[in-house]
Amino acid sequence: MKGPDGRSKGIAFVKFETEKALLNAVENGNNTDIKGRTVNIERATGKKDKPVRGSNPVGEVFITN
């Protein structure tokens, strides 16, 4: 998916094995600049009855710009 400037919108889900790593990404990565774009990082929330994908991850973050 591309934005009005023709560049990719840059959407990602990232899985974490520890709560500490997940919280660090949210606290220190949110509203930072990556290659000229400000990224938003927040904890991903899914359907209550659907488990998080992967082998034993603590959770995921959703990253957009």
Q: Which residues touch 42 (CB under 8 Å, ≥6 apart)?
A: 26, 30, 61, 62
- Residue 65 half-sphere exposure toward CB, CA atoms < 13 A: 19
Q: Examine residue 3 and state whether it is found in any structural domain, yes or no.
A: no
Instruction: Using the predicted structure, report yes or no on whether residue 2 has a pLDDT greater than 60.
Output: yes
For residue 26, is it within any domain?
Answer: yes
**Does residue 23 lie in a domain region?**
yes
Q: Is residue 29 part of a domain?
A: yes
- Domain for residue 54, yes or no? yes
Instruction: Look at the chain and report how many structural domains it folds into.
Output: 1
pLDDT at position 24, please?
93
Task: State the average pLDDT over residues 5-23.
Answer: 85
Amino acid letter, residue 23: L
For 6-39, letters b (16+ CB in 10 Å) and e give: eeeeeeeebbbeeeeebeebeeeeeeeeeeeeeb
pLDDT band at 50 (very low <50, low <70, confident <90, very high): low
- Tell me if 49 is assigned to some domain: yes
Whether residue 2 is contained in a domain is answered as no
Averaged confidence pLDDT in the chain: 79
Higher pLDDT pick, 57 / 25: 25
Enclosing domain of residue 35: 12-64
